[in-house]
């Protein structure tokens, strides 16, 4: 049973990292569930303080992911149209990976700009607001990615530390 929990936990780590970029998947909470599964094995001793702190961080980052883009957009004079444009641009980058990894950076900005232009006639103001929306989006995404990668590192560290116990068939 430990091996099944380990494999599912590892897959959730990968989904959590992917969820850092996909707006439909909550990356850090999914990664945290992977950590939880590792700690539910018989081989890894319970550490409820560790799990509680990492859960609080995952939930905080998830909440901040909704606040940071709005704050960035507001600071640069943008609107909700710019935020939605940024999200739609990211989905375009994921569905149509024409520009490769650069698409993850370019398409959200283009989407935010188009969203602001549809909401605001002034091109200079729309460009500034799109930049704010884009910076906020990138900040939230980076924060989610950082937490998901740290959780994956902690998962691997504990899995390696308790590897002999996890893979013993007794």
33-59 pLDDT, tens digit each: 999 999 999 999 999 999 999 999 999
* Tens-digit pLDDT profile for residues 116-140: 888 866 788 788 878 887 788 888 8
pLDDT for res 116: 84
**Contact residues for 34 (Cβ-Cβ < 8 A; gap 6+):** 8, 9, 10, 11, 12, 13, 16, 151, 152, 155
Contact in structure between 4 and 168 (CB atoms under 8 Å): no
Contact in structure between 160 and 10 (CB atoms under 8 Å): no
Hunting for tokens 């599912």 — which residue is that? 8
Our CA angle for 145, 92, 74, nearest 5°, is 65
The answer to whether the predicted template modeling score (pTM) of the entire model surpasses 0.75 is yes
């Amino acid at each position: 049973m430990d091996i099944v929990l380990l494999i599912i936990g590892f897959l959730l780590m990968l989904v959590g990292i992917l969820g850092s970029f996909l707006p439909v998947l909550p990356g850090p909470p999914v990664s945290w569930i992977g950590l939880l599964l590792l700690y539910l094995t018989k081989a890894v001793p319970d550490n409820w303080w560790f799990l509680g702190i990492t859960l609080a961080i995952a939930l905080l980052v998830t909440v901040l992911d909704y606040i940071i883009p709005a704050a960035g957009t507001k600071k640069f004079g943008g609107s909700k149209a710019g935020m939605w444009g940024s999200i739609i641009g990211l989905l375009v980058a994921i569905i149509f990976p024409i520009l490769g990894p650069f698409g993850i950076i370019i398409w959200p900005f283009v989407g935010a700009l188009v969203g602001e232009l549809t909401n605001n006639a002034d091109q200079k103001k729309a460009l500034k607001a799109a930049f704010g929306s884009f910076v906020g989006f990138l900040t939230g995404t980076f924060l989610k990615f950082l937490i998901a990668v740290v959780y994956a590192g902690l998962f691997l560290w504990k899995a390696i530390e308790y590897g002999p116990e996890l893979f013993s068939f007794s």
